[in-house]
Structure 1
Amino acid sequence: MDLPTVLVTGFDPFAGNDINPSGELARRLGELGHPDCHLVADVLPVSFTRAPQLLAAAIDAHQPDILLMLGLAEHRHALTPERVALNLADADNPDNDGDQPAEAPLEPHGPAARFTTLPVKQIAHAIDAAGIPAHVSLTAGSYVCNAVLYTALGIAEQRGDHGKHAAAGPDGSEHHQPRLRAGFIHVPATPQLGGDPRFTLDELERGIRIALTTILGTPA
């Protein structure tokens, strides 16, 4: 039986920081892998324009069954799986390209919100039960993290809810795309960023691995 393909993404540093734990986690997971899946990783720019485009390209390239996106929430004190992505770009600070949208839709004709297709309550419970603080968060905010989640869930909707379906390739031939389950987890700051000493990169990796095991063990 073929192992499922999992794409994990994180982000580059932003807001003047030298590191971003989400990007470091993605790189580490991509290098070390996971025994129950074929795991690939990508690190996205903190850019309202480029991050969704590069995410869509990575999904096309890897054809994942599961997409787990990671981002940094510096002032949180837990790992927080996100339930909802909003059709909203509203930035308190510019992104790494200098863009600072205000109360703008991500997709002018898109739905107001899209819901994750990952089992957020089970993920949070499993991480918390392992001694790593975790709880479900309602929305991914209105910054670039939210933008990539909204984009990914739109792609998941296009692929449909039941198994694999045929789509036209560049040459006009049919190819099959796996159903995509997608979601987002915000991680707190590590000690290097002035965060809680409990949340070392090793501890965050342990939490994300628990999340992956939970997702892989939950029927699609």
Structure 2
Amino acid sequence: MNTVLLTGFEPFNKANINPAWEAVRALEGWGGAAFRVEVRQLPCVFGQANAALAAMVDELRPDIVIAVGQAGGRAEISVERVAINVDDASILDNAGQQPVDRRICEDGPAAYFSTLPIKAMVAAMREKGVQAGVSQTAGTFVCNHVFYGLMHHTAGKAVKAGFIHVPFLPEQAEARSDSPPSMPLDDIIRGIMTAVETAVNVERDVANVGGATH
């Protein structure tokens, strides 16, 4: 029986909702014949988020970890390929921190790749009618911070791990003047469920095109 740890962030940047957490918490208690899901919330705070996630991994000893965050402005669920070793925040985190050009781990490599079957996950979501794609950047805010911290903490361990970004919810988009794209919560939940099932069942990723020219 595989244990799957799903995490989502608390709201940030003065928002009162985070679609990542809304989707993840909806899956509390969900499972299948070969897996069970554990759900946890992370603070949107540099340092604290990585410490909390590391403690969760050590406590639960999951086989799969998928951290989920919000990427406002994106139109699809983004399965992230790579985490980079830098914090460079354009906004404050929830503790008022704004690190600039700071390494996440002084003795860590420049980057880590996801160990999830990212292209198979994207293909499975698309087959179910959920807009999804491979992303080449997780940004340089707390999402990338957590993605990098997760991969550093699980490096060398028999754990599949990675990060997924989700779009704004329609109600978030409607409240903004720039009219960004959005995705209904039910579609986000369906996408995350599909991602989990794929991660459980697929050992070798597919070789579909998932690159970008810019």
Q: Distance in 2 between matches of 1:196 and 1:153?
A: 29
- Are 2:119 and 1:121 equivalent residues in the alignment? yes
Local SS of the residue matching 1:96: coil
Paired residue total: 197
Q: Residues 29-53 of structure 1: CA distance to partner in whole angstroms, max 9, x if unpaired?
A: 124x121311101010100121000
Q: Distance in 2 between matches of 1:127 and 1:158?
A: 28
- Are 2:198 and 1:200 equivalent residues in the alignment? no
Q: Distance in 2 between matches of 1:153 and 1:11?
A: 17
Alignment match of 1:136 (pick from 111, 134, 137): 134
Alignment match of 1:191 (pick from 158, 167, 170): 170
**Map of 1:214 onto structure 2:** 198
**Map of 2:31 onto structure 1:** 34
TM-score (ref. length: structure 1): 0.86
Q: Distance in 2 between matches of 1:120 and 1:38?
A: 20
What amino acid is aligned across from residue 180 of structure 1 in structure 2? V
Local SS of the residue matching 1:136: strand
User: Larger C-alpha radius of gyration, 1 or 2?
Assistant: 1
Q: Residues 56-97 of structure 1: CA distance to partner in whole angstroms, max 9, x if unpaired?
A: 011011110000110000100000000000000000001000
How far does residue 24 in structure 1 lie from its aligned partner after superposition?
A: 1.3
Q: Distance in 2 between matches of 1:140 and 1:119?
A: 17
Q: Distance in 2 between matches of 1:67 and 1:118?
A: 9
What amino acid is aligned across from residue 166 of structure 2 in structure 1? V
For residues 15-164 of structure 1, the aligned pairs below 5 Å read 15-31=13-29, 33-35=30-32, 36-159=34-157
Q: Distance in 2 between matches of 1:182 and 1:139?
A: 16
Q: Distance in 2 between matches of 1:24 and 1:4?
A: 23
- Give percent identity, aligned residues only: 39
CA RMSD of the aligned region, Å?
1.2
Superposition misfits of 4+ residues, deviation over 3 angstroms: none
How far does residue 196 in structure 1 lie from its aligned partner after superposition?
A: 4.0
**Map of 1:170 onto structure 2:** none
Q: Which runs of 5+ in 1 are unaligned?
A: 160-178
Q: Residues 82-126 of structure 1: CA distance to partner in whole angstroms, max 9, x if unpaired?
A: 000000000000100000000110011210000100011111111
Q: Which runs of 5+ in 2 are unaligned?
A: 174-179, 205-214
Contact 2:28 2:38 in 1 (8 A): yes
Q: Distance in 2 between matches of 1:34 and 1:205?
A: 14
What amino acid is aligned across from residue 168 of structure 2 in structure 1? A
